[in-house]
Structure 1
Amino acid sequence: MTRLPPVEPGDTAADELEQAVAEARAHRSRVDAVEGQLHVPNHIPSSERFAHVFFSLLLLMYASHGLIHDDLYIPGKWAPGVHLHGVPMWVMCGAMISAVASMLSVVVDHYDTRANEISYRRVAIGTQLLGWLLFFGAFALDGWVYQLATR
């Protein structure tokens, strides 16, 4: 590894930035110079990226299976679980798709080297909020439909 000479007092800010970028690249870091600032993009470990992609695919396959058979089973911890059909099932599948979008935003953020981590964080938070609303909405809708059917 080669060390660069220290920046002299007469050097410009551009020279300092160039030296900082060169030093970071010497350490094999992904760096960008964004609007005169040194930016090091997020690094998500490969095991976490793999887990996010793997569970996203599992969740998509489970939602697809439920849609194909018009029966989405949501297991319970202390109860036998709930079978969703019709509109409540579609709402729950929307919640699952929101969860997939939230997980995949983390993976996409790793590969995007631009300085927009806050945008991906907002997408993740927004899709999580939407997913929880749809999740509880599906159960509320299922209870409402059940009440109408038993009248």
Structure 2
Amino acid sequence: MSDGPNYTNYSHLELLEAYESIDRENYPERFQKICKFMQEKGLIVETETGFQLTTKAYESSNMDRPNEESKPSYTCLPPEPQYDDEGNYIPNEIPKKNRVTNALFSVGIILYGGYGLHVNELWVPLAKRISIVLTGIPAILMFVAIVFASIMMIAEVVDHYDKRDNEHTYYKVALYFKNLAYAVFGIAVVLGLFMGSRIG
């Protein structure tokens, strides 16, 4: 009598689908078998409260996950270091889509801000169809805020390639520059309004 499917040749996506759909109460042995293969592939880790999907699992899956909360943004919650059964650290992985988006967006907003400084007219969107046109010191401050925001996004990219157990450091750097970016952004807008910047 067969003891269930042979998960050896399952793709990452197939393992994730099986992991989410299996009846764990009626088929505990089969569930443990799935977990074993997923641990070997780095898709889950065992914690004190049960099994937890890794970043690699999120990156491998294109499925909608209606029963799970959306994955938090990089600076939303402190990262939780993950370890395998032997206590070896599993490097933090940032999905490729996030890395590419962060890199391109960082370069794009710096070029945009730099051009705005060059022509002394930096357009900044505040709301839908509402922008403020900054010049002089407010424009310089806004460019500084843009640089801080870029550093925040690049920290996430660098974190992916640094395989040491120090993602908390990158998290703190990103959070610090995120807060700085918001603060300087607010100062630039208020100062701009005080100095009579044009609203478009």
TM-score, length basis structure 1: 0.71
Counterpart secondary structure, 1:83: strand
Q: Distance in 1 between matches of 2:150 and 2:125?
A: 19
**1:50 and 1:78 mapped to 2: Cα distance?**
26
Structure 1 residues 78, 39: closer, same or farther in 2, change over 3 A? closer
Q: Displacement, 1:48? A: 1.2
Q: Does 1:109 align with 2:159?
A: yes
| 1:107 Cα deviation from its structure 2 partner | 0.3
Change (3 A) 1:28 1:65: same
Q: How does 1:76-95 map to 2 (within 5 A)?
A: 76-78=126-128, 80-95=130-145
Q: Give ranges in structure 2 of 5+ residues lacking alignment.
A: 1-7, 9-39, 44-82
- Selected match of 1:73 from 117, 123, 133: 123
Structure number with the higher helix fraction is 1
Instruction: Find 1:39's aligned residue among 73, 89, 94.
Output: 89
Read off the aligned partner of 2:189 and give its amino acid letter: F
Query: Quick one: which amino acid aligns to residue 170 of structure 2?
Result: Y
1:51 aligns with 2:51: no
Tell me the equivalent position of 1:4.
none
The alpha-carbon deviation at position 140 of structure 1 amounts to 1.3
Report the structure, 1 or 2, having the larger strand content.
2
Q: Which has the larger radius of gyration?
A: 1
| Cα separation, 2, equivalents of 1:126 and 1:115 | 20
Cα deviation per residue 1:6-63 (whole Å; 9 max; x = unaligned)? xxxxxxxxxxxxxxxxxxxx7489xxx9xx9411111111111111111111111101
Counting aligned pairs with the same residue, the percent is: 30
SS in 2 for 1:74: strand
- Aligned equivalents of 1:125 and 1:98: distance in 2? 10
Tell me what 1:6 maps to.
none
Structure 1 segments, 4+ long, off by >6 Å, are none
Q: Which moved more, 1:67-76 or 1:85-94?
A: 67-76
**How far off its partner does 1:80 sit?**
4.1
SS for the counterpart of 2:133 is strand
Give, as a single letter, the amino acid of the residue that structure 2 aligns with 1:39.
Y
Aligned to 1:114, the other structure's residue is in SS state coil
TM-score (norm 2): 0.54
| Equivalent residue, structure 2, for 1:131 | 181
How big is the alpha-carbon RMSD for the aligned residues of Structure 1 and Structure 2? Answer: 2.8
